[in-house]
């Protein structure tokens, strides 16, 4: 059976109250920060992968807002008074149309996830957890770059002190997209700039940027790209066992 799991949803299906969840607290955090944006110290930086960062720094050298821009992706992170993520806005291009996402967080979960993507599939609880871990990890790493003198986002760091999160580190490969291989699972195949050889990644829980390529791979053949991926241990029913795999998470396109 051929399969891959898309990574965009409007609301969590297995939690009946997710769509009706009260998000007034997160919206208040957003409004308060935007209203007082000029009162915060503004800093700019670039991470090792070239992502352009802008931070607005509050008390304790904790960024209250982080703007992250990379090819094909824009993200805005908003931190609540407790130092934890409260709201994240994301946008990217899919087939010439802008897709927007809004994610509302409480102390340890995503309580509402809204997307403008047409026909967005519904995710399971583990997909929400995976996205939360990825967002927290990015926020912590960006905070360390923008405000390195003090431990950033202290409340957020408490949530990342688990083996599961520490072991889900993301990696990056730049090169040229070649094809999508189809077997029991879809595989992303590209030419690695560093080695000149083919690199292959499982497509298990991709975001919308990867899903767009799976839907029409011929459109992207030969294009230069930057892939975000990770190593993980997954239960693969077709193999009848758990296996260590390298799975793609997202892709951005290099225009040069």
| pLDDT of res. 19 | 47
Residues 6+ away with beta carbon under 8 Å from 43: 54, 55, 57, 146, 147
| pLDDT of res. 125 | 67
CA gap 84, 63 in Å, rounded: 10
Question: Nearest CA to 101 among 128, 126, 61?
Answer: 128
Report yes or no: 42 and 56 within 8 Å, Cβ to Cβ.
Answer: yes
Confidence bin at 151 (pLDDT 50/70/90): very low
| pLDDT of res. 53 | 94
pLDDT at 161 over 60: no
Confidence bin at 166 (pLDDT 50/70/90): very low
**Predicted confidence (pLDDT) per residue in 90-123, tens digit:** 998 877 788 899 999 987 788 888 888 776 656 6
Selected residue with higher pLDDT from 54 and 157: 54
Whether the model clears a pTM of 0.85, i.e. scores above it, the answer is no
| pLDDT of res. 155 | 42
Q: What domains can you pick out in the chain, each with its CATH number?
A: 24-166 (no CATH), 170-253 (2.40.50)
**What SS3 class is residue 184?**
coil
| pLDDT of res. 124 | 63
Span 56-76, mean pLDDT?
Answer: 90
Q: Which of 26-30, 153-157, 229-233 has the lowest mean pLDDT?
A: 153-157
Question: Nearest CA to 142 among 207, 88, 194, 72?
Answer: 88
Residue 32 corresponds to which tokens in the numbers above?
Answer: 């308060």
Question: Nearest CA to 147 among 44, 16, 19?
Answer: 44
CA gap 201, 76 in Å, rounded: 28
């Amino acid at each position: 059976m051929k399969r891959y799991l898309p990574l965009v949803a409007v609301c969590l299906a297995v939690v009946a109250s997710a769509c009706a969840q009260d998000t007034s607290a997160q919206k208040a955090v957003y409004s308060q920060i935007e209203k007082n944006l000029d009162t915060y110290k503004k800093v700019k930086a670039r991470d090792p992968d070239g992502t352009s960062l802008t931070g607005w720094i509050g008390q304790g050298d904790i960024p209250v807002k982080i703007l992250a821009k990379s090819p094909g992706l824009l993200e805005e992170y908003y931190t609540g008074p407790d130092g934890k993520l409260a709201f994240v806005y994301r946008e990217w291009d899919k087939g010439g149309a802008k897709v927007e996402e809004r994610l509302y967080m409480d102390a340890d979960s995503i309580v509402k996830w809204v997307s403008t993507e047409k026909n967005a599939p519904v995710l399971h609880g583990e997909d929400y957890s995976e996205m939360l871990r990825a967002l927290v990890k990015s926020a912590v790493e960006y905070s360390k770059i923008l405000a390195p003198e003090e431990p950033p986002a202290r409340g957020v760091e408490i949530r990342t002190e688990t083996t599961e999160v520490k072991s889900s580190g993301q990696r990056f490969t730049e090169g040229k997209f070649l094809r999508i291989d189809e077997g029991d699972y879809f595989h992303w195949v590209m030419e690695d700039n560093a080695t000149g050889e083919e690199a292959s990644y499982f497509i298990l829980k991709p975001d919308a940027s990867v899903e767009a390529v799976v839907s029409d791979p011929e459109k992207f053949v030969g294009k230069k790209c930057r892939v975000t991926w990770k190593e993980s241990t997954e239960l693969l029913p077709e193999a009848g066992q758990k296996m260590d795999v390298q799975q793609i998470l997202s892709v951005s396109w290099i225009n040069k």
